[in-house]
Amino acid sequence: MRLGELIPAPYRLLAKGVLLVVLVSGSASITWQVQDWRYGKQLAEQARLHTETLNQLNLASAAQQRAEQDKRLALEQRLATSEQTHYRALSDAQRDQGRLRDRLATADLRLSVLLDATTDAGNRSVSATTATGGLVHGPTKAELDPAHAQRIIGVTDDGDRGLIALAACQAYAKEVSTPK
C-alpha cells in the first residue's frame, strides 16, 4: 500500500493544495525578494543622484553668493573712492573760498564789476575807479564794497558746495545703477 492510498481523497486534495500554496508563496517570496533587491538598488541609485544634484546646487548657490558678494565689495570700494574724490574737491573748494575771503578782508584783493558803457554819465550811482598812475583805456569798472564782496563770495561758496554735492550724488547714482 502506498501512502497516498492511506489518506482519504479530500485530505490528499487538501494536502496538494497546501503544498501548492507553499510552493507558490515560496516562489512569490523569492520573486518579491528579487524585486526588493532590484528596487532597493534603484532607490539607492536615485538617492545618490539626488544627493549629487543637491550638492551641485549648493555649490552653484555658494558660487553665485560669492560672486554677488564680490560685486558688492567692488561697488563699495568704487563708492569709497568716489566719496574720497568728492570730499577732496569739497575741501579744496572750501580752502580756496577761505583764502579768497581772507584776501578780501585784508584788502589784498578787491572785487570790481564792469559798468555798462551805454549808461549816461548823470545816472551813475557807483563811483568808477581808475588804476593809479595811468589812464583807463578799457571798460569802466566799479569797485564793490568789501561787505558786499564777502556776501558774493559766500553765495559762490554755497553754489560750489551744491555743485560738488550734486556731482557726488550723480556719481553715486551712476555707480549704483550701472551693472558691473
Determine the pLDDT at residue 70: 94
Alpha-carbon distance of 82 to 88, in angstroms, equals 10
What pLDDT was estimated at residue 119?
57
Residue 45 lies in a domain: yes
**What is the predicted pLDDT for the residue at 5?**
64
Q: Answer whether residue 27 is part of any domain.
A: yes
For cell 558786499, the residue is 148
Domain membership flag for residue 81:
yes
Domain assignment present for residue 126? The answer is no
Cβ atoms of residues 171 and 89 within 8 Å: no
3-class secondary structure, 15: helix
Tally the domains of the chain.
Answer: 1
Find where cell 574724490 sits: 85
CA 64: distance to chain centroid? Answer: 15
**Residue 166 located in a structural domain:** yes
Name the residue range of residue 59's domain: 8-117+139-177
Q: What is the pLDDT of residue 9?
A: 72
Residue 151 lies in a domain: yes
The phi-psi region of residue 107 (left if phi > 0; otherwise alpha if psi is between -120 and 50; otherwise beta) is left
CB of 128 closer than 8 Å to CB of 119:
no
The single residue listed with the C-alpha cell 555649490 is: 59
In 3-state terms the chain splits into helix, strand, coil percentages (rounded to 5) of: 75, 5, 20
pLDDT for the residue 133:
45
Q: Which of 160, 172, 180, 178 is nearest to 84 (CA)?
A: 172
Tell me which residues of the chain have a pLDDT lower than 50: 122, 128, 130-134
Q: How far is CA 160 from CA 86, 92, 113, in A?
A: 12, 11, 21
Residue 28 lies in a domain: yes
Domain-embedded: residue 23: yes
List C-alpha distances in Å: 15 to 9, 11, 20: 10, 6, 8
Q: What is the pTM of this model?
A: 0.52
Distance in angstroms (rounded) separating the CA atoms of residues 108 and 113: 17
pLDDT digits (tens, 9 = 90+) for 42-87: 889 999 999 999 999 999 999 999 999 999 999 999 999 999 999 9
pLDDT for 49 equals: 95
Grouping H, G, I as helix, E, B as strand and the rest as coil, residue 111 is: coil
